[in-house]
Amino acid sequence: EAQVTQNPRYLITVTGKKLTVTCSQNMNHEYMSWYRQDPGLGLRQIYYSMNVEVTDKGDVPEGYKVSRKEKRNFPLILESPSPNQTSLYFCASSFSGGTSTDTQYFGPGTRLTVL
Amino acid sequence: AQSVTQLGSHVSVSEGALVLLRCNYSSSVPPYLFWYVQYPNQGLQLLLKYTSAATLVKGINGFEAEFKKSETSFHLTKPSAHMSDAAEYFCAVRVDTGRRALTFGSGTRLQVQP
């Protein structure tokens, strides 16, 4: 089954304790992206990757890091989480071929609470 | 820069009634427009997308949307609501840039009353 998986689905942590949220896709997609969803704000892009070893900032990258060492994986790293990073996080992937209308497929989300 | 406005954070309809969820966009270049649905505790699922091939776009679950350039709108409709349509709906726009970021509206929560 074609899918985007995220782990963990739920996480409660404390300020300053480094954490990683994993994202993996099995569709051989080149493009991957992280979004955060906050009430009343919709989804905002954090980072994206056009392919292996190619990453760039989205709209709200502060406090986050990413890496793309393998095509299928795109982990989101919070080196020193703060309460304002409490949010619902989504990973997405798509082909990045010639068409701009390639559908982005979303993972199930990771609900993060930083105390 | 592009943006999306969804009018009405909550919409309530009766089962069998028309569903109309409003979306207006702003973009300085031809946009690509999407509607996603999010069921409770789930990720986002694509309902339909506008790719400039046709202004009336049909999607899954009986939904459709019409692109109106003169009104900069992409409203989502369904002739007859079903209880299973209760969810949150997001309109999104993307312009043809390398970043491929979707700019989302703030979402509309649809309630369907029996």
What is the rounded average pLDDT of the residues B7-12?
94
Yes or no, beta carbons of B106 and A41 under 8 Å apart: yes
Do A11 and A21 meet the contact criterion of CB atoms below 8 Å apart?
Answer: yes
Q: Which residues of A touch B7 (CB under 8 A)?
A: none
As a whole number, the mean pLDDT across chain A is: 92
Give the chain B residue whose CA is nearest to the CA of A39: B106
B73 beta partners:
B24, B68
Do B63 and B45 meet the contact criterion of CB atoms below 8 Å apart?
Answer: no
Alpha-carbon distance B51 to nearest alpha carbon in chain A (angstroms): 6
Q: Rounded to the nearest 5°, which phi and psi values hold at A85?
A: -95, 5
Can you tell me the distance from the alpha carbon of A5 to that of A9, in angstroms, rounded to the nearest whole number? 9
Can you tell me the distance from the alpha carbon of A21 to that of A10, in angstroms, rounded to the nearest whole number? 10
Residue of A45, A103, A109 lying closest to B46 (CB–CB): A103
Q: How confident is the model at residue B3 (pLDDT cuts 50, 70, 90)?
A: confident
Q: Which of these, B63, B69, B68, B76, lies nearest to B23 by C-alpha position?
A: B76
Kindly report, residue by residue over B41-88, the tens digit of the pLDDT: 788 899 999 887 788 999 999 999 999 989 999 999 999 999 999 999
Q: How confident is the model at residue B1 (pLDDT cuts 50, 70, 90)?
A: confident
Specify the pLDDT at position B98.
Answer: 65
Query: Reduced to 3 states, what is the DSSP secondary structure of residue A85?
Result: helix
When mean pLDDT is compared across A20-29, A100-109, B2-11, the lowest value belongs to A100-109
As a whole number, the mean pLDDT across chain B is: 90
Yes or no, beta carbons of A108 and B42 under 8 Å apart: yes
Say if residue B96's pLDDT is above 70: no
Yes or no, beta carbons of B106 and A56 under 8 Å apart: no
Yes or no, beta carbons of B44 and A90 under 8 Å apart: yes
Q: Which residue has the higher pLDDT, B96 or B31?
A: B31
Say if residue B97's pLDDT is above 80: no
Secondary-structure breakdown of chain B: helix, strand, coil percentages, each rounded to the nearest 5: 5, 55, 40
Do B88 and B37 meet the contact criterion of CB atoms below 8 Å apart?
Answer: yes
Can you tell me the distance from the alpha carbon of B104 to that of B112, in angstroms, rounded to the nearest whole number? 23
Kindly report, residue by residue over A44-94, the tens digit of the pLDDT: 999 999 899 999 999 899 999 999 999 999 999 999 999 999 999 999 998
Specify the pLDDT at position A93.
Answer: 93
Yes or no, beta carbons of B90 and A42 under 8 Å apart: yes
Looking up tokens 């559908």 gives A103
Specify the pLDDT at position A99.
Answer: 53
Q: How many CB pairs under 8 A join A and B?
A: 62
Specify the pLDDT at position A101.
Answer: 56
